[in-house]
């Protein structure tokens, strides 16, 4: 039922080597990402932060296998990433819950695509993750009956339930109000510590990145490049208004604004 | 003052007034009963033809044609519409053709259908299918193309693809649009069937349209009006019994309406 722990050695879960991604825009080719080399360690919470247009969401699509690199390679363990797969689940900016399914069925969606489970195991697993995000009593509700924060919690449960090797998060909190967001930071950190999941979070919110990430990778735009990597050594659980966190966030902001704007 | 009355009171009063006025107007002799029968005449025709079984058998013949024709049209239209949405060149060919043929009132097919199939059941069915098919194709194509890409991305990352993606994500997501396309197809089928039945007498069955046309030929306007009323009633019932509950359930369960 997916409670086995992931290997804890500091090996790389995801390896990006010289990744370049270009798009054909209206005014010729646009380089979204240029020569990105990056490692995501097993069991690490990596936060990628940068201004809009720095290619961070593109990077996540590449990791998910929803898009392909023009140059360079992406490996999951020692396997190249070529297509979407259950080993890398994505949580999107909007919850992307299916309105024709109830909460439990939404969480079961990914589980039902795992062939080697019985239906009873799937339901047990789905309930486990719904309880983990604090929505054990809402399994019969329809997505539209839930608040935005609850929906995003269901989406989190849905992404965690098939026990992916890596969880990819594409600005999942940006559409939520500040209070709900802070609650979810707490929940997510709790789940992260408990489940030892490898997580890649993309965000434009620097405080969020510093609050959640073991490392924060700052991207600079036009074309998207790694500008700087920060190690965040703060103990967990971290609180958003902790002064130490605030000063680290200020440091990242400093680095971001010092980059010459184009 | 009006707010204290139960809501159905005013419509009922208006209906009584209208029907009563009509009855009185005809009986007062200001208009020929032959050209403009009174409600009581229409009712008598209705009662008589109900007793003789004529009305029920005509309704049965028509309903059967409608249901079979609609079912064929929908059964062909859903996969074709999906194909149009999925494959670019099919959309550029069949999709465009559907757009053109949808604007063609399907009664225009009657002359060809009669030549191809003879004055038989198949000819009417063909006309009904032509009325349904293109509306359904276009509605399915449109609603599949409008499925939010986010759903597809989410499903794909969870490992859903090909048939699973179609049956578990694309089709459920497109269902509201498909349903309204079906409803439109049903309306077109109903109209085209009436036109076809009035236009030609099909030897294999005497439907409501034929009954209406017979009324014209016999100069029995009570029959014409009676059949018109039945045609309306059947249309209303189909919507009330068939589509409305399904639609309401669909909208309610997705939070589009409470």
pLDDT bracket for residue A6 (50, 70, 90): very low
Which of chain B's residues have a Cβ under 8 Å away from the Cβ of A109? 155, 158, 160, 168
pLDDT bracket for residue A261 (50, 70, 90): low
Do the Cβ atoms of B153 and A66 come within 8 Å? yes
- Please state, in angstroms and rounded to a whole number, the distance separating the CA atoms of residues A166 and A4: 14
Do the Cβ atoms of B157 and A64 come within 8 Å? yes
Q: Where are the domains of chain B?
A: 42-253
Contact assessment for residue A86 and residue A68, using Cβ atoms and an 8 Å cutoff: no
Q: Is 1.10.540.10 the CATH number for B42-253?
A: no
> pLDDT at position A258, please?
80
Mean pLDDT (whole number) for A228-241: 87
Do the Cβ atoms of B158 and A113 come within 8 Å? yes
Q: What percent of chain B has pLDDT over 70?
A: 98
- Please state, in angstroms and rounded to a whole number, the distance separating the CA atoms of residues B158 and B144: 20
**Residues within 8 A of B (CB atoms), A 98-127 only:** 98-100, 109-110, 113-114
pLDDT one-digit tens code per residue, A91-150: 888 888 999 999 999 999 989 988 888 899 999 999 998 988 888 898 899 999 998 888
- Please state, in angstroms and rounded to a whole number, the distance separating the CA atoms of residues A109 and A87: 15
> pLDDT at position B14, please?
94
Mean pLDDT (whole number) for B174-183: 90
Q: Where are the domains of chain A?
A: 1-87+164-262, 99-163
Which of chain A's residues have a Cβ under 8 Å away from the Cβ of B171? none
> pLDDT at position B201, please?
76
The DSSP H or E segment spanning A218 is strand A215-220
pLDDT bracket for residue B33 (50, 70, 90): confident
- Rounded to the nearest angstrom, the minimum Cα separation between A113 and chain B is 6
Strands A215-220 and A28-41: unpaired
Q: B157, B165, B176: which to substitute to probe chain A, counting the most A Cβ within 10 Å? A: B157
> Mean pLDDT across chain B, nearest whole number?
89
> pLDDT at position B2, please?
52
Q: What percent of chain A has pLDDT over 70?
A: 95
Residues in Cβ contact with B133 at an 8 Å cutoff, skipping those fewer than 6 apart: B73, B76, B77, B80, B98, B185
> pLDDT at position A133, please?
84
Among A238, A169, A174, CA closest to A205:
A174
Strands A45-49 and A28-41: unpaired
Mean pLDDT (whole number) for A174-181: 83
The ipTM, to two decimals, is: 0.81
- Using alpha carbons only, give the angle A194, A157, A174 rounded to the nearest 5 degrees: 100
Do the Cβ atoms of A113 and B160 come within 8 Å? yes
> pLDDT at position A176, please?
82
> Mean pLDDT across chain A, nearest whole number?
86
Residue of B nearest to A100 (CA): B254
CATH level 3 topology of A1-87+164-262: Rossmann fold (3.40.50)
Contact assessment for residue B77 and residue B137, using Cβ atoms and an 8 Å cutoff: yes
Q: Is A94 on the interface with B (CB under 8 A)?
A: yes
**Residues within 8 A of A (CB atoms), B 127-186 only:** 150-151, 153-160, 164, 168-169, 172-173, 175
**Where is average pLDDT lowest: A21-30, A194-203, B43-52, B171-180?**
A21-30
- Please state, in angstroms and rounded to a whole number, the distance separating the CA atoms of residues B120 and A232: 81
Angle, helices A103-111/A148-160, rounded to nearest 10 degrees: 20
pLDDT one-digit tens code per residue, B75-89: 999 999 999 999 999
pLDDT bracket for residue A203 (50, 70, 90): very high
- Please state, in angstroms and rounded to a whole number, the distance separating the CA atoms of residues A229 and A185: 21
pLDDT bracket for residue A7 (50, 70, 90): very low
- Rounded to the nearest angstrom, the minimum Cα separation between A96 and chain B is 6
Q: A76, A109, A114, A175: which to substitute to probe chain B, counting the most B Cβ within 10 Å? A: A109
pLDDT one-digit tens code per residue, B109-167: 989 998 999 888 899 999 999 999 999 999 999 999 999 999 998 998 888 888 999 99
Mean pLDDT (whole number) for B184-195: 89
Q: Does position A18 have pLDDT exceeding 60, yes or no? A: yes
Which of chain B's residues have a Cβ under 8 Å away from the Cβ of A144? 254-255
pLDDT bracket for residue A8 (50, 70, 90): very low
> pLDDT at position B48, please?
93
Do the Cβ atoms of A100 and B158 come within 8 Å? no
Mean pLDDT (whole number) for A53-63: 87
Cis peptide upstream of residue A61 (ω within 30 degrees of 0): no
The DSSP H or E segment spanning B45 is helix B39-52
> pLDDT at position A220, please?
87
Cis peptide upstream of residue A132 (ω within 30 degrees of 0): no
């Amino acid at each position: 039922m997916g409670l086995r722990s992931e290997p804890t050695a500091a090996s790389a879960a995801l390896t990006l080597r010289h990744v370049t991604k270009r798009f054909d825009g209206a005014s010729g080719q646009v380089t979204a990402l240029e020569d990105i080399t990056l490692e995501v360690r097993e069991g690490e919470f990596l936060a990628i932060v940068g201004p809009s247009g720095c290619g961070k969401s593109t990077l996540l699509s590449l990791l998910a296998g929803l898009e392909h690199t023009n140059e360079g390679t992406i490996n999951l363990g020692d396997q190249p990433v070529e297509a979407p797969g259950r080993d890398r689940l994505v949580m999107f900016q909007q919850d992307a819950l299916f309105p024709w399914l109830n909460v439990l069925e939404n969480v079961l969606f990914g589980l039902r695509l795992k062939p080697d489970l019985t239906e009873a195991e799937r339901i047990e697993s789905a309930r486990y993750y719904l309880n983990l995000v604090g929505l054990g009593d809402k399994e019969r509700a329809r997505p539209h009956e839930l608040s935005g924060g609850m929906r995003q919690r269901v989406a989190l449960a849905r992404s965690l339930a098939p026990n992916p090797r890596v969880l990819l998060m594409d600005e999942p909190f940006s559409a939520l109000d500040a209070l709900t967001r802070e609650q979810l930071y707490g929940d997510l950190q709790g789940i992260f510590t408990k489940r030892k999941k490898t997580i890649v979070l993309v965000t434009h919110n620097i405080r969020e990145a510093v609050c959640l990430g073991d490392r924060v990778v700052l991207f600079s735009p036009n074309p998207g490049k790694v500008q700087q990597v920060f190690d965040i050594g703060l103990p967990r659980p971290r609180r958003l208004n902790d002064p130490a966190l605030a000063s680290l966030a200020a440091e990242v902001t400093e680095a971001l604004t010092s980059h010459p704007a184009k | 003052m009006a707010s204290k009355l139960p809501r159905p009171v005013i419509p009922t009063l208006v209906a009584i007034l209208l029907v009563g006025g009509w009855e009185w107007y005809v009986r007062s002799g200001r208009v020929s009963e032959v050209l403009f029968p009174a409600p009581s005449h229409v009712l008598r025709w209705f009662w008589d033809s109900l007793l003789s079984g004529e009305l029920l058998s005509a309704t049965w013949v028509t309903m059967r044609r409608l249901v079979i024709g609609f079912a064929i049209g929908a059964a062909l239209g859903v996969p074709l519409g999906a194909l149009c949405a999925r494959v670019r060149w099919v959309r550029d060919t069949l999709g465009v053709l559907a757009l053109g043929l949808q604007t063609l009132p399907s009664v225009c097919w009657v002359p060809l259908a009669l030549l191809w199939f003879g004055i038989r059941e198949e000819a009417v069915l063909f006309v009904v299918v032509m009325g349904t098919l293109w509306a359904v194709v276009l509605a399915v194509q449109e609603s599949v193309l409008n499925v939010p890409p986010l759903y597809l991305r989410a499903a794909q990352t969870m490992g859903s693809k090909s048939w699973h993606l179609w049956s578990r994500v694309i089709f459920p997501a497109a269902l509201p649009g498909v349903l309204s396309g079906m409803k439109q197809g049903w309306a077109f089928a109903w109209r085209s069937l009436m036109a076809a039945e009035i236009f030609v007498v099909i030897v294999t069955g005497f439907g409501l349209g034929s009954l209406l046309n017979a009324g014209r030929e016999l100069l029995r306007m009570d029959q014409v009006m009676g059949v018109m009323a039945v045609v309306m009633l059947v249309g209303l019932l189909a919507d009330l019994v068939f589509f409305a509950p399904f639609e309401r359930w669909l909208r309610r369960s997705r939070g589009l309406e409470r």
